[in-house]
Chains A and B, each alone.
Chain A
Amino acid sequence: MEFIIFICLLTTGYFFGSWAEKKHYKSIVEREQLYLYLPTTSSKKPLGKLAPVKESKLVTGSVVVSVDYFKRVLAGLRSFFGGNIASYETLVDRARREAILRMKESCPSATQLINLRIETSSIAKGAKQQIGSVEVLAYGTAIYCHKTKG
């Protein structure tokens, strides 16, 4: 009986997990295209010559993503042999990009976003039998400039 439950969880995890991931990646790519106009760098100084700065402020974007059951089992199996945990790589990648996107979405009219930093932390660290989830926080300085004529 427990074996059947395990197989059901695994199958559900795989199908829903892949579906959710595909959907998420699609949305990430679309939104990244949309916010391409906003220069974002990790540099401490703004790029190029700017018009007089009107305002600058701290902006943040954070996201918590959970891994599905299939990926958790896959990562567990991987831990026997070592190597890349490919199933977690997509999870962290999605979280990172989503956090930056959310940060950009919080300041759509900024001229530039500088000093971008990313922090991650895992939720339920060390606790066994819990769903592994990751939090990614992206923060930076949004600069708003006066509009130049012409």
Chain B
Amino acid sequence: MRYRPSILKDNHNISHTQPLKEFATLLGGILTFLALSYIILGLLVDLAVAHISVAMETELFNHTPFSFLTIDPDSFDPRQQKLQQLTDELRACLEMERQITVHLKNSDTVNAVALPGGHIVFFTGLLDTLDSENSLSFILGHELGHFKNRDHLRGLGRGLVLMTIASTMTGPNSVLTKLLTPTLQLSQANYSQNSETKADETGLNSLNCYYGHVGGATIFFESLASQQSDNKFRHYFGSHPQIRKRINAIRQQAEKNHYTVKKLTPLLFSENSLKNLYPPEADHPP
């Protein structure tokens, strides 16, 4: 037997592939898989949301520690009582049986959010920009609309699905999971434009039912539209896009239902009304 030394010409022991091409293909495949799972599971969540009863929702979410709800009892704001009262009356108007609790949270954030478990968190930043009770009622009615249409569960559900997929595939502390977790941040609950429009409709109906007219419905949005560049309002724009479109949609809806506009009711706890509620003597003892 002859021994013939030779040099390796074609290395058969390795695959001659382009690593970057392989990386792109694999990543594309995984992203497609994630996207498909997200869509399919998202649809399943939509189905599930329709079947989650109020009792079940309360059971599920009442133990969830929403940071918004840990309100310091010392900093109790007397305006909360008024908000709750208004919400209850609007709720009766909308024939909503479930109990909704309003929490007034001291924060510069110009926003109000509907949370699972029947909670509305109203930020003082938003309350301070309102100058009529009608505008306030419209926003409360809008949030009640989210409960009525069950958007508060839907928005949470999709975020949950995405995070669950990521944490199952890559582990709870992976980069991917951490990247996706912010979608669960409730203050930025992102509802689709369609759900916003529907919630606006509910808000408008509740306004008309309670006051007999829909004056004040768009005042808040108009002031927003004129202050779009203001950083303070960015929060509200994050989840409530295309303000102009919304104002027009609300107006069209009002016209369609032949709703009228009458004189606005002043906000009861504006400076003057607060004086009536809490006489100056109480604040400044003689």
Q: Mark B11-42, 1 if CB is under 8 A from A, else 0.
A: 10111010110110011011001000000000
| Residue A87 lies at the interface, judged by CB distance under 8 Å to chain B | yes
Give CA–CA (A33, B11) in the complex, Å.
15
Give CA–CA (A14, B24) in the complex, Å.
13
Complex contact A77–B175 (CB within 8 A): no
A77 with B13, Cβ < 8 A, contacts A29-B7, A32-B8, A39-B5 known: no
Complex contact A36–B3 (CB within 8 A): no
Which has the most chain B C-beta neighbours within 10 Å: A37, A39, A41, A77?
A: A77
For this complex, into which size category does the number of interface residues on chain B fall? 20 to 34
Give CA–CA (A95, B87) in the complex, Å.
72
Give CA–CA (A74, B178) in the complex, Å.
20
Complex contact B19–A81 (CB within 8 A): no
How many residue pairs between the two chains, A and B, have CB atoms under 8 Å in the bound complex?
A: 61
A41 with B3, Cβ < 8 A, contacts A3-B179, A86-B15 known: yes
Which has the most chain A C-beta neighbours within 10 Å: B1, B6, B14?
A: B14
Contact partner of B7 (CB less than 8 A), chosen from A33, A70, A77, A87, is A33
Q: Which residues of A contact B15 (CB under 8 A)?
A: 84, 86, 89
Select from chain A the residue with minimum beta-carbon distance to B27. Answer: A77
| Residue A80 lies at the interface, judged by CB distance under 8 Å to chain B | yes
Other than the known A14-B19, A48-B1, A86-B15, what 6 A-B pairs have Cβ atoms closer than 8 Å?
A: A37-B5, A47-B1, A73-B23, A74-B23, A80-B29, A96-B13
Q: Could you name 9 residue pairs across A and B whose Cβ atoms are closer than 8 Å?
A: A2-B178, A32-B7, A36-B7, A37-B5, A77-B23, A80-B33, A86-B14, A86-B17, A90-B14
